[in-house]
Amino acid sequence: MLKLSDEFISKEFESKIVAKAKKARKQLSDIFKKIKEIDYEFYNLPTTIKPRKIAALDGGGFSEDFVGITVTPARAAGAIFEQNKDPIWIEETDVEILTIDDDPKNFGALFRDLLEVKVAQKLIEKKPEVIFLDGSITNFAYKGIPQSIRYSLQDGQEIEDDSIGFKFYDLFLKYIKASYELLTKCIVDDILILGVSKDSRANILVNHLFEKSKKKPLITDTTLVNIIANGRTGFTKPIEFSPKIRDIRTKIWKAAEVFQEKELQSFNLSYVVLKERALPIRIDSLIPQQKRLKEIFEAMVTYHDGNGFITPAYLTHNRANMKQDLGNRIINYITEEIFDESPELYQAFFSQRRRDVIQ
């Protein structure tokens, strides 16, 4: 057995680690046995390989914090893939300069997500049969609501263009409106739209299987499917699920005139294992497209990369990734523009934080 005791780890601490590991092993063993008792169908993957005209996309971001400002470049890229043809790439790159009131971390993520939606809108104009999105499709309707917006709407306050949080509120509305337009356009044009999550931390399937149980196992769906699949390839039976709709969510949907249809407030969810012992991939799809479930798994098998994921996702990720060199160049360009015009503004807002200087 591995020994940890040395000049940094005492024997007393090592004994604590051993005790904690034994306790965890017992807890995990009990969960494992409980899951193995479930009789949950795990279907074989289709064998049909059917190349289609597909689209895939991804996004990436970068940010730099100064004492009074955050600069956030973001990028999204996607492509149309057809057999025996070169990919047709579509890209969007933009940057935002944020004050402390704009909640830079969450704003930056939403800013990137909106760029991804814009790329998706351009991709579907080229009429693919299937479009693969990076991440859960539920984010379109159920994106986390910024706290500044939440408090203002709950209190019945009007968010004006010079108030704290307006910039975030405006971006949030643009995002859900663009997302809604994307989904409805895909339904009308009969384009199968899929949300693909390779590292989901959800427990939706766990809650579904144990909805009548007094004590649900505290595990993710990924762990659950790992146990059920037992190293095999296949997919779980799709289930319909709907996140809890709170009053604040209803208010925002109504204000933006989006997601009023019941069929767009719920989604189908399934997990697929494309290679033996590979991690399950979460697949979200639209309720209005549920008659096309067979096509979903055929598409996954057709574009499997041989390592448990899908090839277009890798290609778009590499294209969309905001490289540090590009991010730094954008940030340096902005800071030089500010400094050249006004050294005083640069000193006030763009000075490096003390902890960054120390590092």
Residue 90 contacts residue 78 (beta carbons within 8 Å) = yes
Residue 316 contacts residue 90 (beta carbons within 8 Å) = no
| Domain chopping of the chain, boundaries | 54-201+236-324
Query: What was the pLDDT predicted at 162?
Result: 61
Whole-angstrom distance, CA of residue 335 vs CA of residue 97 = 11
| Residue 186: CA count within 13 A, CB half-sphere | 31
Whole-angstrom distance, CA of residue 304 vs CA of residue 325 = 31
Residue 279 contacts residue 308 (beta carbons within 8 Å) = yes
- Provide CATH code, domain 54-201+236-324: 3.30.2170
Instruction: Say which residues have a Cβ less than 8 Å from residue 184's Cβ, sequence separation at least 6.
Output: 264
In a structure prediction context, what are the per-residue pLDDT tens digits for the chain, which is 359 residues long?
455 556 667 788 888 888 999 999 999 999 999 999 888 899 999 999 999 999 999 999 888 888 778 889 999 999 999 999 999 999 999 999 888 767 788 888 999 999 999 999 999 999 999 999 999 999 999 998 877 667 666 555 566 666 666 788 889 989 999 999 999 999 999 999 999 998 788 999 999 999 888 888 999 999 999 999 999 999 999 999 999 998 889 988 988 899 999 999 999 999 999 999 999 999 999 999 999 999 999 999 999 998 999 999 889 999 999 888 888 898 888 888 877 777 877 777 777 754 454 44
Query: What was the pLDDT predicted at 359?
Result: 47
Query: What was the pLDDT predicted at 255?
Result: 82
Residue 93 contacts residue 48 (beta carbons within 8 Å) = no
